[in-house]
Structure formats: C-alpha cells, structure tokens
Amino acid sequence: MTGQVAMRQVSVQQFFDDNRDRLGLHWMGGRQGGNRMLTGESALKPTVGQVGHMNLIHPFRIQILGAAEGAYLRDLPEDELQRSINRLYTPELIAILVANGEQAPQHLLDQCNRHHVALFTSPQPSPHVVDVIRLYLARVLAESTTLHGVFLDVLEMGVLITGASAIGKSELALELISRGNGLVADDIVELFRISPDTIEGRCPAVLRDFLEVRGIGVLNIRTIFGETAVRPRKLLKLLVHLEDHSNEAFSELDRLQVNATYQDVLAVPIRKVTIPVAAGRNLAVLVEAAVRNFVLNQRGIDSTKEFIERQQKLMENDQ
C-alpha cells in the first residue's frame, strides 16, 4: 500500500527562481554554482545545517549575512576579514545570501566566483529571509511516499480513506464532497513529512481536480462543484480504512474501540479508524462522525472512557 520513501533535492537555480520575487533576490556572483544541489536533512552531517546566520563553527549550506554580520565584518582589519570569509567555503557550502540590503564585501564576491558558490543579495531583513528559506526547504526537501486512497478535507481535517479496490472509496468521497467537504487527491496521494511530526498530503499534478467513479467515469470536481470543492494540500490527521464485513464478522469487532489504533506514515503515527462496509450503512455520516470524535479526543474528551466510567459508577452504587 505504501510507496518507496523518496529523498528529494532542489538545485540552487530552482531555489533562486522559486524565491526571487518573494525575497527580492539578486544573483550577484558565482553564477556557475547554479547546478549545485540541496538535499534533505538526513543526507547532511550532524554538524551541518541547511540555512542560518553566518556560523563558522556550525556551518550552514546557505549562509546568511545580515546587519550584525555585516557590521562585524566591516570592523575587521582587511587580512582578518579575508581569513573569516575564506573559512565560509567548506565543501558543504551551497550559497551565500547577503540580506538587509547590506553591501557584499569585494573579497566575498571574488571568492564566490572562484569557488563557484552562488552569491545572492536581498533587501529583506535577515531573520525573515531565514524563516522563508527554512519553510521553503522543509516543503521541497521533505521525505515523501505515496499511498493508495482518496485524500479529503473533511470538516477542516485531512482524512485519507483507504480500502480494497472497488469497496466504494470514490463513491464515499463523492458523497462527502456533495456535503460540502473538499477533495485533495484521488487514487494516488503524495505524502511529505514537512516537520518531525507533521505529514502533508498533496495530489500529483496529472490527477489534480479529478475523481474516478465506477459507472460514471472521471469527474472534474472543480468544474462540477466549484472552486471550494478542491484543496491543493492538507495535513494528514486521520486514516479511515474501509473493510468489507459480513454480518457474522460484526460481532467479532471491538464495538467500544477502547484502545485507539495508529498507523505509521513516514515514521509519524497517524490515528486510524476502521469502518465496516455493509448495505444500508451511511458511510459519509460515519466518516464525519469519526472526524468529530477525533477532534473531541484531541481536546481530551473521550466518549468511550466517559461511558465506561459512568457504568462503573452505577455498578459501585448498586453494591
């Protein structure tokens, strides 16, 4: 059910193109460094970070020089200035960004051209630049995998519906969409770990807006239901697994669901609910109820626990 975990990478040229307008980037030197690649955190040494203010002890792949760094370098004698700048050029260095509209020292420009390391400038404050780049890299370099199912925004919660082929996932998704919920992806869902405990689900570009329903064909949900019926991405919070159960099998289920179940997605535990599929069951209502119950659980309200405690109190009073 799970695809292979992929490690993504992005070139310096792509990084520049994606952030040029937002950060007002100007490519000042080291043009030949555009083909260098930024990779995910797990590919880095423990002592190397992705992006941060100039640090000669704990180097970053993208070193940021802001107002404080500029003032520090300006106060150094020329020979010490050059030595400090030279120490920036470790094998891990990918790019240098001079923020706050600071003037880049000539020696910095010369060394970037010599080492083929991209030198960017930005008028934006350096803390803002660091925040924007960190979020950008977390998104584009996240570990990723794929799952088979339908990913929906149900009551503002990211819900992935899984189950065997032809069990009715797309029909359930269509009913949920008609009730005002939103489609993110059908069939193949791309999942990215954008932080240690956060999974974001997206739709492959070729499948965007489309939902396949047996007997009808491929539907363009955006065209049929409007712009509000689709979402570009959503954080995965709940897995709903549909299972085909005979009436005999219903008696074997844990009806109270005392212990919550979880499934690991990219090493992040995601709450999982299994819903039996049988004639006459309104699955859309059940999924919405499961989401509402999950939200209550997140707030510390457990209906099952409350019910058991009430039963125990009644039993104690009878004794």
8 Å CB contact between 291 and 155: yes
Token duo for residue 180: 């005002």
What are the b/e assignments for 174-194, b being 16+ CB within 10 Å? bbbbeeebbbbbbbebbbbbb
Separation between Cα atoms, residue 84 and residue 80, nearest integer Å: 6
Residues with Cβ within 8 Å of 123's Cβ and at least 6 positions away in sequence, in order, are 24, 99, 100, 101
Catalytic, 186? Answer no
Of the candidates 79, 197, 254, 255, the residue annotated as catalytic is 255
What are the b/e assignments for 131-168, b being 16+ CB within 10 Å? ebbeebbbebbbbbbbbebbbbbbbebbbbbbbeeebb
Query: In Å, what is the CA distance from 155 to each residue of 84, 222, 231, 255, 303?
Result: 54, 18, 13, 24, 19
Of the candidates 61, 169, 202, 234, the residue annotated as catalytic is 169
End-to-end CA distance of the chain: 51
8 Å CB contact between 27 and 16: yes
8 Å CB contact between 237 and 226: no
Catalytic, 255? Answer yes
8 Å CB contact between 283 and 242: yes
Of the candidates 22, 115, 116, 187, the residue annotated as catalytic is 187
Catalytic, 169? Answer yes
**SS3 for 258?**
coil
Of the candidates 53, 107, 134, 148, the residue annotated as catalytic is 148
Q: Which residues are catalytic?
A: 148, 169, 187, 255
